[in-house]
Amino acid sequence: MKPVIGIAANEQTMIDTDSHWISYTPKNFVTGVQNAGGLPLLLPIGTIYDAKSYIQKIDKLLLAGGQDVSPESYGALPHQKLGATNHRRDLFEMALVKEAVKAGKPVIGVCRGMQLLNVAFGGTLLQDLSLAKEPLLKHVQVPTPFELPTHPVEINMNSRLAEFLPQNYQVNSFHHQVIDELAAEFVVTATAPDGVIEGIESVKSPVMGVQWHPELAYFTIEKERAFFEYFVNKFA
């Protein structure tokens, strides 16, 4: 029986009007899960009261990228550099995470998904890279194509990431927010040369996240395909 991978969906308008909305996730998340032998199931943004029912129908949960996590979710006020947010999505995904952890089901977060995990467990975010105390690397790699790696990370060799990635690894990068205060339940599993946290995992539950985008490099970097293989078949 194929493992059912719930992918928390995003939403946006199809055209320049508020009357045509779509629920979606990047296609390579679907392709990656399918090719690894999983059955992807999109979970559209809903109420927090539906989260338990959704989690009962899946084996593992994947949180994708997208908007900035609302500072309201971690008790902060919005900074000028804050991008678009969707607090309904924040609340729904945090409810999904809560129910998944309660049920002992693995959770993985990508980019915003990793940041959301940190917030869900009590951590905070830096709302923009420009607010860091020290100059940082370029973490929004435009105009470099998203599927190409642009900076190195160092993987903690005692981590889950080290089960399929080498200690020194190159990643793509498309984020302007970063983890500020790490939630107490997490340890850092990958770090950029400037100190930015690029990977985390829980010390209590099967929960982990990466800051880069394996789905965007799925067809160009073999190790990013290993990300999906690990999550679908080994992560527990």
Domain of 196, CATH number, reads 3.40.50.880
Count the domains in the chain.
1
Residues with catalytic roles:
111, 213, 215
- Residue 16 reports pLDDT greater than 80: no
Tell me the backbone φ, ψ of residue 48, rounded to 5 degrees.
-65, -20
Residues in a beta bridge with 42: 7
CA distance 166 to 155: 7
Average pLDDT over residues 214-234: 97
Query: Do 182 and 188 touch, CB atoms closer than 8 A?
Result: yes
DSSP per-residue codes, 40-61: EEEE----GGGHHHHHHT-SEE
First to last CA, the chain: 16
Average pLDDT over residues 41-51: 97
Tell me, what's the pLDDT at 20?
A: 78
- Residue 78 reports pLDDT greater than 80: yes
Buried b (16+ CB within 10 A) or exposed e, 213-232: bbbbbbeebeebbbbbbbbb
Average pLDDT over residues 1-19: 86
Quote the domain boundaries for residue 87.
4-233
pLDDT tens digit string along 153-202?
999 999 999 999 999 999 999 999 999 999 999 999 999 999 999 999 99
pTM, two decimals, is 0.96
Q: How confident is the model at residue 14 (pLDDT cuts 50, 70, 90)?
A: confident
Here the tokens at position 32 are 């990656």
CA distance 156 to 154: 7
